[in-house]
Amino acid sequence: MALSELLDILCCPDSGEHLQLTDTGLASSAVDYPVVDKNLACLYSNPSVTRFQWGSKIKHFFDSEREHLKQMQQLAQTCSLASTRKRISLQHEARHKNLALMQKMLSAWIPDKALPVAQSSQQIYSYFELLFRDWCWGDELRPYIDYCVSALGAQHCERVLVLGSGAGGLSYHLANALAQSRLISIEHNPFLALASHHIMQGKLLKIHDYSLYPTELAGSSTKWEIKQAPLQHENHVQLLATYPKLPLLEKSVDAIIAPWFFDILDIPFDAALQACTRFLKPKGKLVFMGPANVHKPHYDEQYCSDEIRELLCQQFATVDLTQQSLTYLDNPTASQRRLESVAFAVAAEPIYSEYSRETSMPKDLVYTPELNQYKLKTATIHQILACIDQSISVNELADLLVSRFGFEAHESSHYAAAFIAEIQSGIKQG
């Protein structure tokens, strides 16, 4: 599906302003949103800053992976057991080839100068195994596909949003099964987004699955060649975007599918759940699929399925929740299998509430989407401040953003003014 078919519902994730098509992608009056691969638009909030932050994570991962590879190469030559040398050299070869693939795919993302990486569950290598689960290992997605098709297939859902689409397997099968719907997949990890985008176009992806603890040498690594038939209908588009700051207008989609998503975000589960309602039309549906027990560090967030049902009932007029016991990330070469109780729920007719941004200030520091955003912004501002040791004008800072941090020249003034305003307001508040 062409991006132009989405123009009526796409907006700037920060200001809500409608976007226009340009020669290089999409744009609001102040910010460009480039297309980074055929039809894959980069619609992050503050896209240049977010790309820079992802670029820093990628650079750190590449540097540390190169270090690991060096050590492995040495061990593959010096270990006393011949079978240990064999195991390590198989693992080394797999990781070396995966690194080469990632370097090729992500070459445009690497900044000259990287930020220190903030602690986060979301790194570039997170969820790498989804590629094998979705496209290689077996049919683990079947119960999820069937549940979504039975929840959405019978009625006409024009626009269906898939949150955290990962390696893209579920979106691919649903786009084929729901011919009348138009699917929008949202993923923030550039490697997973680019890899799934590549596969869904019917292109070949060669990737290596390796095991750190194989039960026999042959299980140390497996080479996969992923090649799928292209999608049957022109009804799918993938966007690089970060939930909950999505580039979509309020009340613009008929259904949202959230598979294994709300529980893994760096924001509270209930806030994540609530944030999706504003994108749904009044008769819209949420298809929730994920663990029946939420693993979070705080006692009051370790929800079981009854609490998940109650939370859904606070946000939707009708809720139907069931549970199934299913294997999860079931790698056929692994020595242990993970069995999960999975909650499947359809919740319909959102009860809209004010977005929690405006609520009064709590005493504790609550981990909200805004706090997470603030953390990332602060790290970026520190990096910029480190380069400033005398007065600087907007134009001079704009030049610095271009030369040191790789910002695009034509939008650097917008970001420079925004950073200066942010720094001045920080100084004012002491």
Ligand X SMILES: C[S@@+](CC[C@H](N)C(=O)[O-])C[C@H]1O[C@@H](n2cnc3c(N)ncnc32)[C@H](O)[C@@H]1O
User: Which of 58, 90, 130, 292 is the binder for ligand X (CB under 6 A)?
Assistant: 130
Structure-token pair, residue 290 = 């994920």
Q: Is 187 in the site for ligand X (CB under 6 A)?
A: yes
User: Which of 33, 109, 147, 243 is the binder for ligand X (CB under 6 A)?
Assistant: 243
User: Which of 34, 55, 111, 166 is the binder for ligand X (CB under 6 A)?
Assistant: 166
Cα 389 from chain centroid (whole Å): 36
Backbone angles phi, psi at 344, to 5 degrees: -120, 125
Structure-token pair, residue 205 = 């992806």
How many residues sit in the footprint of ligand X (CB under 6 A)? 18
Which residues 64-123 are close enough to bind ligand X by CB under 6 A? 122
Q: Is 41 in the site for ligand X (CB under 6 A)?
A: no
Structure-token pair, residue 4 = 């132009």
Q: Is 161 in the site for ligand X (CB under 6 A)?
A: no
Hey, which bits of 248-279 come out as E strands?
253-259
3-state secondary structure 133-190: HHHHHCCCCHHHHHHHHHHHCCCCCCEEEEECCCCCHHHHHHHHHCCCCEEEEEECCH
Name the maximum alpha-carbon separation found in the chain: 67
Q: Is 186 in the site for ligand X (CB under 6 A)?
A: yes
Residue whose C-beta lies closest to ligand X: 164
Place of tokens 């609520």: 359
Q: Which is nearer to ligand X, 143 or 153 (CB)?
A: 143
User: Which of 3, 174, 183, 265 is the binder for ligand X (CB under 6 A)?
Assistant: 265
Q: Which is nearer to ligand X, 241 or 384 (CB)?
A: 241
User: Which of 44, 61, 147, 261 is the binder for ligand X (CB under 6 A)?
Assistant: 261
Q: Is 234 exposed, middle or buried (0-12, 13-18, 19+ CB in 10 A)?
A: exposed
Q: Is 419 in the site for ligand X (CB under 6 A)?
A: no
Torsion of CA 300, 351, 6, 39, to 10 degrees: 10
Q: From the CB of 191, what's the least distance to ligand X, in Å?
A: 9
Stretch that binds ligand X, among 163-171, 221-229, 297-305, 351-359 (CB under 6 A): 163-171
Q: From the CB of 428, what's the least distance to ligand X, in Å?
A: 30
Residue ranges binding ligand X (CB under 6 A) = 122, 127, 130, 164-166, 186-189, 192, 242-243, 259-261, 264-265
